[in-house]
Amino acid sequence: MIELLPKTHIDFVKKRFIFFTISGIVTLAGIISLSVKGLDLGLDFTGGTLVQVKFEKPVDISAIRTALKGAGIEAGIQTYSETNSFALKVKGTQENVNETADKMTAALKTIQGDSFTEEKRDYVGPVVGRDLSKKALFAIILSMFGIIVYVAFRFSNPVWGTAGVIGIMHDVFVAITAMSLANREVDLVIVAAFLTIAGYSINDTIVIFDRMRENMKKFPKMPMGQLINMSINECLSRTIITTLTVFITVLVLFLFGGSGINNFAFCMLIGTITGVYSTIFICSPIVYQWEHRAK
């Protein structure tokens, strides 16, 4: 394994209350933002107009987006490159379907005139999105329970599993907070990002916990705080390398991936940062705090 950093001796446990306070402030900001502003829910959850068109000649998606923006329309665009077709989705009520669709087709005429065919015009209800979000929430709750049981079995202590789940909840909530503060739209793609963040978070935490377990066997009489610091410092180079790899990849998507995946990339950027933050500064110190208070 490449060592990006020289061997470190950082006392993470001693600084735990500083980072507990930082997370508490971010959580409070999230609660306030969600209470005051809420989330900008996408068409998957609110419903809206769907228009599918097919162009006779190839058209770049940026040209469609520019034409719609010129008409004051913020639309989600899905491409079907093999057929040169596009599905355009705009939030709204069922009563305004024809009005919105006419406005969209009028905007599209500025690209290639009438050289496109309207294949579909419909109202997309929020039922499917709500159903899928409920299933996603159920999946998260079930997975958290499974994580607690698995980690409790593997590390012979439910505290470790609970600390890991707290880290997941922390990371997902920070990502939700960022979406609320930045006024970014939350749709089913973002729900997928939340699930990805949860998986990324617990994976990083388990690596540190696994090193802690190994060191507990090697040094059974070592104080827990010293053992946690040693384990985190030993994994720090690996943690930074893997996190930077993911971060740079997502950053490229954020900067150059286009507006279609910009919200997803933004959410993943936040999740990548909070994932490593919670592993080092939240989950492991929680284990120490819990074990320390139990004695």
The length of the chain in residues reads 295
- When pLDDT is cut at 50, 70 and 90, the band that residue 229 belongs to is very high
Q: How confident is the model at residue 250 (pLDDT cuts 50, 70, 90)?
A: very high
CA 282 to chain centre: 18
Q: What's the rounded mean pLDDT across residues 63-75?
A: 86
Q: pLDDT averaged over the chain?
A: 85
Q: Kindly give the pairing relationship between strand 76-80 and strand 85-91.
A: antiparallel
Looking at residue 221, what is its pLDDT? 87
pLDDT of 63:
87
pLDDT at position 50, please?
85
Q: Are 292 and 228 in contact (CB under 8 A)?
A: no
pTM of the model: 0.80
Q: How far, in Å, CA of 141 to CA of 281, rounded?
A: 23
DSSP labels, the chain: ---SS------TTTTHHHHHHHHHHHHHHHHHHHHHT--EE-HHHH-EEEEEEEESS---HHHHHHHHHHTT---EEEEETTTTEEEEEEE--GGGHHHHHHHHHHHHHHHHTT-EEEEEEEEE-SHHHHHHHHHHHHHHHHHHHHHHHHHHHHHT-HHHHHHHHHHHHHHHHHHHHHHHHTT-EE-HHHHHHHHHHHHHHHHHHHHHHHHHHHHHHH-TTS-HHHHHHHHHHHHHHHHHHHHHHHHHHHHHHHHHS-TTTHHHHHHHHHHHHHHHHHIIIIIHHHHHHHHHHH-
pLDDT of 31 > 80? The answer is: yes
Please give the C-alpha separations between residue 225 and each of 11, 107, 195, 229, in angstroms, as whole numbers. 9, 63, 31, 6
**C-beta separation of 225 from 10 below 8 A:** no
Beta bridge partners of 116: 55
148-198: pLDDT as tens digits = 777 777 777 778 888 888 998 999 999 999 999 999 988 888 988 988 898
Whether the pLDDT of residue 77 is over 90: the answer is: no
Calculate Rg over the CA atoms of the chain. 24
Residue 254: which pLDDT band, with cuts at 50, 70 and 90? very high
Displacement of CA 48 from its chain's centroid (Å): 24
